[in-house]
Amino acid sequence: MIDSFSERLLHWFDQHGRQHLPWQQDVTPYRVWVSEIMLQQTQVTTVIPYFVNFLKTFPLVDRLAAASMDVVLHHWTGLGYYARARNLHKTAVLITNEHNGEFPLTINELEALPGIGRSTAGAIVAICTNRKAAILDGNVKRVLSRCFAIEGWPGSSATTKKLWEKAEYLTPEDRVADYTQAIMDLGATLCVRSSPDCGRCPFESGCIAHLTRRIDDFPARKPKRALPVRSTTMLMIENPAGEWLLQQRPSPGLWGGLWAFPEGDGVINVLAQLNLDNTCIQSQVRLEEFRHTFTHFHLDITPVHVKLHQTPPAIGEKPIVWYCPGAPAEIGLTKPVTRLLKELE
């Protein structure tokens, strides 16, 4: 008789769960940690090639610790939420220097490391030791709030508290590693955000949201607030060799550590910051404006393509590179840089 939540879930996992994801093979705390950080805001199918490439470049934590931040950000380019990569590097350095290269496998010690929250710590302990530890990532929040009709936006502290209590209560004593994989899997494959596949779900007969036809009510949406809008002019400066001028963004800060086109309040101001005058400029073309949205504001970007007659010997005060898309340097690029270079290709 399969009656408890975990038994149902494990029974489903044994038959239908994904057992061949790259981080499910050769399980080590390092591999699980990297996968959990990558999966925090990104879907499995996107993460897989990044994970494989990352592990090829940094097979062990000390290799990651020894790499420069530029190289780490380069391997993260395209995954977004770059604070994850910066924290990954900081944690690798701490693990290497202060923990002899071994991950501490208690929730409290893991939570003390940069970028590791309660859920990620729980996943690492559960998957690597099979000891009881609950997780509550976005997938699990969705499954639990639907199954048990937990009202409220999961980002609020009151709802988070209720969800954690439920997650702790449901986590079994046995097969914790499989249970952890299973609940993440169910949320990622069947109990997806829109049009969940309830007909194949092990909780079809007991899920309150499904039985009451209120799936769209759970989890509750974040209360809407209008994001402020800022604007900027971004200069795509190209030298006669077809290379693009990129500046490194200060860290911490927006796009901290990444390389970006110089930007600011209008063409004249940006050129002045760079100590470039009109005599160097061959042509200047304004491109179509577009919007880049951060979590806390919209940025309306006006790109201007500026061609130079010659490469000036010195430009501005920030670190710069002349970036050649055909032979790219190992540096992390902001999303607008990737997008604009692709558009001009």
Q: Which is nearer to ligand SF4, 204 or 300 (CB)?
A: 204
Q: Which is nearer to ligand SF4, 108 or 169 (CB)?
A: 169
3-state secondary structure the chain: CCCCHHHHHHHHHHHHCCCCCHHHCCCCHHHHHHHHHHHCCCCHHHHHHHHHHHHHHCCCHHHHHHCCHHHHHHHHCCCCCCHHHHHHHHHHHHHHHHCCCCCCCCHHHHHCCCCCCHHHHHHHHHHHHCCCCCCCCHHHHHHHHHHCCCCCCCCCHHHHHHHHHHHHHHCCCCCHHHHHHHHHHHHHHCCCCCCCCHHHCCCCCCCHHHHCCCHHHCCCCCCCCCCCEEEEEEEEEECCCCCEEEEECCCCCCCCCCEECCEECCHHHHHHHCCCCHHHEEEEEECCCEEEECCCCEEEEEEEEEEECCCCCCCCCCCEEEECCCCCCCCCECHHHHHHHHHHC
Residue 215 CB, nearest distance to ligand SF4 (Å)? 5
Q: Which is nearer to ligand SF4, 38 or 191 (CB)?
A: 191
Q: Which is nearer to ligand SF4, 55 or 201 (CB)?
A: 201
Q: Which is nearer to ligand SF4, 115 or 196 (CB)?
A: 196
Residue 238 CB, nearest distance to ligand SF4 (Å)? 51
| Catalytic residue status for 36 | yes
Residue 84 CB, nearest distance to ligand SF4 (Å)? 27
Give the Cα separation of 115 and 75 in Å (integer).
18
Residue 179 CB, nearest distance to ligand SF4 (Å)? 15
Residues binding ligand SF4 (CB under 6 A): 143, 146-147, 190-191, 196, 198, 201, 203-204, 207, 209-210, 215
What are the distances in angstroms from CA 310 to CA 109, 276, 318?
A: 54, 11, 20
Residue 218 CB, nearest distance to ligand SF4 (Å)? 8
Query: Which of 160, 128, 132 has its CA nearest to residue 144?
Result: 160
Q: Which is nearer to ligand SF4, 36 or 185 (CB)?
A: 185
Give the Cα separation of 93 and 63 in Å (integer).
10
Which residue among the candidates 36, 263, 317, 343 is catalytic per the annotation? 36
Residue 326 CB, nearest distance to ligand SF4 (Å)? 47
Q: Which residues are catalytic?
A: 36
